[in-house]
Amino acid sequence: MTRAVLLALVLLGVARAAPADDPAPCPARGGVVRVSTARHRLWTCANGRAEAEYPVALGTGGVGKRRQGDAKVPLGEYTLGPPRGSSQFHLFIPVGYPTALQRRNGFTGSAVGVHGPARGYEHLGGAANTAVDWTLGCIAVGSDAEIERIAAWMRRERVSRIAID
């Protein structure tokens, strides 16, 4: 996607409607990163409370990842690896897709994660970087500052789990 197209979408006010019947974002116990693909939102959750909320961009193929290269975001609960630096996205937090059970059932893929904006587009800001789905199956927040806050929260709260629905 070109910068001009992305900027035009933002200026035209492209917005995603949130379903009114979406359940509460956080489970009652424990810490988790929760992603609602329908709402295009990510929450950092601790003991039933959303500590922060971020708009996200998803994969161009939609959701329900089953195979490498389908550009879809996986659905389900996964482990999160430690955040690491990335030359493409500033920070990258690996998602443990596919699980062992998914692998046994023929799911394929790798390099799925939560990350910041693509290099070269970070200056556009959060709204522009999450206005349209552009990833190859990852979950992208809109700014370097947002992915840094998520990574710091994970380290502080010792959270290593993500729920994507």
Containing structural domain, residue 36: 28-164
Whether 93 is covered by a domain: the verdict is: yes
Calculate ∠ Cα 10-165-115, nearest 5°: 55
* pLDDT, tens only, 85-110: 999 999 999 999 999 999 999 999 99
Tell me, rounded to whole angstroms, the distance of Cα 160 from its chain centroid: 14
Which amino acid does the sequence have at 68? Q
Whether 56 is covered by a domain: the verdict is: yes
Whether 6 is covered by a domain: the verdict is: no
Query: How many domains does the structure of the chain reveal?
Result: 1
* pLDDT, tens only, 5-39: 444 444 333 444 444 455 568 888 889 999 999 99
Whether 17 is covered by a domain: the verdict is: no
Tell me the CB-side half-sphere exposure of residue 159, using CA atoms within 13 A.
26
DSSP 134: -
Whether 2 is covered by a domain: the verdict is: no
Beta bridge partners of residue 45, listed in sequence order: 32, 50
